Amino acid sequence: MSPDLPELPKFRPSQSRLIEKQIETSFFGRRKGKSLSPSQQRLMDELLPKISLNPTRPISSATALFDHAPKEVWMEIGFGGGEHLVRQAETNREIGLIGCEPFVNGVVKALAVIEERALENIRIYDEDAAHILDWLPEASLDKVFLLYPDPWHKKRHWKRRFVSDRNLERIARVLKPGGIFRFASDIETYVSWTLDHVGRCNALEERASSPEERLVAWPDWQRTRYEAKAFREGRKPQYLTFHRI
């Protein structure tokens, strides 16, 4: 464990149900870091409105959100600076990607690459991803990614973790039968938390047959800067794959 991180409280599965009965709150922290440069502000003012989602208007299907009639639609919850999101979009241009990220500075980093590489298969939502999960039609997504979400280390903040019984129900609802939910974390307590929650979600089932399999990255995975830091600091990432029953 890195010396700059506090010692983690031990997670007991029975605690999660109690935590989720507490008052509902945001699953994210601050919305903005350092001030935007003029070029970054231009991206927020000009590009973001063109590719942002409006979950107040009805839609018939997730594919209708894109101009190119994608073969599949994938969604990333909390894309950070957009490394994984834009890589998937560039590698799979026939796919439609929905990216959710409330942190302004992360959004603008992704927008810069989207513009530079002329990626037309990405749509952005810069608020709580739960809004999009509730808005999308049932069985409309083929994959959902939740990669290195904020672990909210302190016990009193565990209720802010995105993985919850309610959010897993949301994810399961929008996944097609056989659809994939990928989760990655280098925090053991959050991995245990996630396995416990999925274990009581009847609509999702883990694909790994052993703990060792969880240490093996997905075939199309490329290490992010955050993950490289985790390895340097001695933390072992785990890669969980669940499919919609």
Q: Which of 4, 45, 126, 150 is catalytic?
A: 150
> Closest by alpha carbon to 196, among 166, 165, 162?
165
Q: Which amino acid is at 84?
A: H
Q: In whole angstroms, what is the distance from residue 245 CA to residue 229 CA?
A: 35
The four Cα atoms 217, 118, 105, 148 give a dihedral, to 10 degrees, of -10
How many residues are given for the chain?
245
Q: Which two tokens stand for residue 186?
A: 């280098």
What residue has token string 């890589």? 87
The four Cα atoms 235, 192, 82, 7 give a dihedral, to 10 degrees, of -50
Active site residue 220: no
**Rg, the chain, Cα only:** 18
CB of 150 closer than 8 Å to CB of 29: yes
**Catalytic residue positions?**
150
